[in-house]
Amino acid sequence: MSLPACPQCGSEYTYEDGAMFVCPECAHEWSQVTATTEGEGERVIKDSNGVVLQNGDTVTVIKDLKLKGSSLVVKVGTKVKNIRLVDGDHDIDCKIDGIGAMSLKSEFVKKV
């Protein structure tokens, strides 16, 4: 897999740091989600391990997630089936048994 060149200075020596790309020459940082595109400007959403997610995939939660305004918690290892990818800060819409419809961030799930 080749990493994209720095959009600021054009350097080819970029590297990954978590969910960000970093340029060692000009210290510019940018998000992998916005930098990685496929086809005609379509967003590519990746899980915590960098695997590309698609509509209908099954994922597992990798961290306890507290729900705002509720005492409910989505536990580590919770399997979520048939996800739907959407635009926005929380890029996964899904239904979790016992909790209902909710949105998740792709950085807190891994593909099964």
> What pLDDT does 66 receive?
92
Per the document, the length of the chain is 112
What's the pTM value of the predicted model, to 2 decimals? 0.62
Q: What is the mean pLDDT of each run of 10 residues along the chain (112 residues)?
A: 81 85 87 55 80 92 91 93 90 91 92 92
Q: Is 15 exposed, middle or buried (0-12, 13-18, 19+ CB in 10 A)?
A: exposed
- Let me know: does 59 contact 83? Beta carbons within 8 Å: yes
- Let me know: does 34 contact 20? Beta carbons within 8 Å: no
Q: Nearest-CA neighbor of 75 among 47, 108, 52, 112?
A: 108
Tokens linked to 49: 């391990």
Q: Which CATH architecture has domain 58-111?
A: Roll (2.30)
> What pLDDT does 41 receive?
52
Element (H or E) spanning 92, and its range?
strand 92-96
> What pLDDT does 6 receive?
83
> What pLDDT does 111 receive?
93
| Domain topology for 1-35 | N-terminal domain of TfIIb (2.20.25)
Would you list the domain boundaries of the chain?
1-35, 58-111
CA distance 54 to 27: 32
